[in-house]
Amino acid sequence: MLLGKRRRLKRIMKDGKTVIVPMDHGITKPVAGIENIDDVLRKIDGLADAVVLHKGVIKNSAYVEDMEMGLILHLSASTAYHLNEKVIVSSVEKAIELGADAVSVHVNVGSESEAEQIRDAGIISELCDSFGLPMLAMMYPRGHGIEVNTETVKHAARVGYELGADIIKTCYTGSTESFAEVVEYVSVPVVVAGGEKKSEAELIEDVRNAMLAGAAGVAIGRNVFQHSNPASIVKALKRVIHSSKPRGEIYEGNLVAGGRR
């Protein structure tokens, strides 16, 4: 891996683990909690490892320039009217211009525009290699008749890995044992999406179990920026993630070196 990419990854992955807070939801639909993103950024800066933002938010922010967290420019978008049909709305070059440490792309495996999304992610991964910029791939099994289960999540994660992603974000499969199957199917870090708003206890339990399975951390948005105290929940996530044992050790007698059973 190129030196530039390694250096930028270290801004996002601390000791191979990360707490990422995506706040790219405003294009999808108006959601509570991101009316003033700078306010959220101030509250979680120095706690979260990185944030995911769209270019318009970055350009208009009065805080991004001075924040300590890593910055990831999201390149994909769709509205709630065509939720699964992601298109590319920015570029690797724009990410560099804006001072981003990485880019992210979203691919819905099983959607009607799956082919275009895969093509775009593959091209972007090559550009990232050329510029030394890491790529986070948000990989989900989504589309008409597509079920979310261990096999479809494994497939989606593998697609991102095969396309050249440096970090894979995907949904939690519900148990340590099942998510271990996802983690062991790729050889790049896998982070867990937060999904819909849930109780703090349920969120922390899911994250703890995902870490036992070998996850490298989380990419959690709504459960952070819609929390009554974003700093508090990020601190709780950080304690679980950055104090967990590294992938490859034995967990509960089921997982052995390298994540293999």
Question: What positions carry a catalytic annotation?
Answer: 24, 140, 169
What distances in angstroms separate CA 251 from CA 85, 164, 184, 207, 213, one per listed residue?
A: 38, 28, 14, 15, 8
Query: Residue 189: helix, strand or coil by DSSP?
Result: coil
What six digits make up the tokens of 161? 């890995």
**Per-residue tokens: 38:** 């700078």
Cβ pair 12, 70 in contact under 8 A = yes
Distance between CA 253 and CA 121 in Å, rounded?
37
Distance of CA 197 to the CA centre of its chain: 16
Which tokens go with 245?
């044992």
Are residues 111 and 156 in contact, defined by beta-carbon separation less than 8 angstroms?
no
Output the CA angle 80-174-155, nearest 5 degrees. 70
What letter represents residue 32's amino acid? Answer: A
What are the E-state strand segments in the chain? 18-22, 50-53, 70-74, 76-77, 87-88, 102-109, 135-141, 167-170, 190-193, 217-219
What's at 91, amino acid-wise?
S
Strands 70-74 and 76-77: unpaired
